[in-house]
């Protein structure tokens, strides 16, 4: 009988050891999984940041091109206005001169 009790106690001790070892394995696996998840999250954040930076640069480049096109159009418009003024300058001055002095006569 004492032998049976010793065997039961030994089985119980072995069961406790197996349970502790299993818990240790589970804890180690959880720790590994957390590390893997943190690394994946970090990678995705980096990828997102890089993609965001790329999109930002693309938008800025488009804005620069549009600004340059607008500047060129404005320069062209100003040049046209300047050419029109130069072409009619003498006529405008003469009309202004006559209107100023005709009113005083």
Q: Is the pLDDT of residue 49 over 80?
A: yes
Q: Measure the N-to-C terminal CA separation of the chain; round to a whole number of Å.
A: 146
Residue 1 tokens read as: 């009988």
Q: How high does pLDDT run on average in the chain?
A: 91
What pLDDT digit, counting tens, does each position of 69-105 carry? 999 999 999 999 988 888 888 887 888 778 877 755 5
Alpha-carbon span 28 to 34, nearest angstrom: 10
């Amino acid at each position: 009988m004492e032998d049976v009790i010793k065997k039961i106690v030994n089985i119980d001790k072995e069961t406790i050891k197996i349970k502790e070892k299993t818990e240790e394995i589970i804890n180690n696996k959880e720790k590994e999984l957390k590390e893997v998840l943190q690394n994946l999250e970090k990678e995705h954040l980096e990828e997102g940041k890089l993609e965001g930076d790329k999109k930002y640069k693309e938008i800025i480049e488009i804005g620069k091109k549009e600004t340059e096109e607008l500047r060129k159009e404005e320069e062209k418009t100003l040049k046209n206005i300047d050419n029109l003024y130069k072409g009619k300058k003498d006529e405008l001055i003469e009309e202004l001169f006559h209107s100023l002095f005709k009113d005083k006569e």
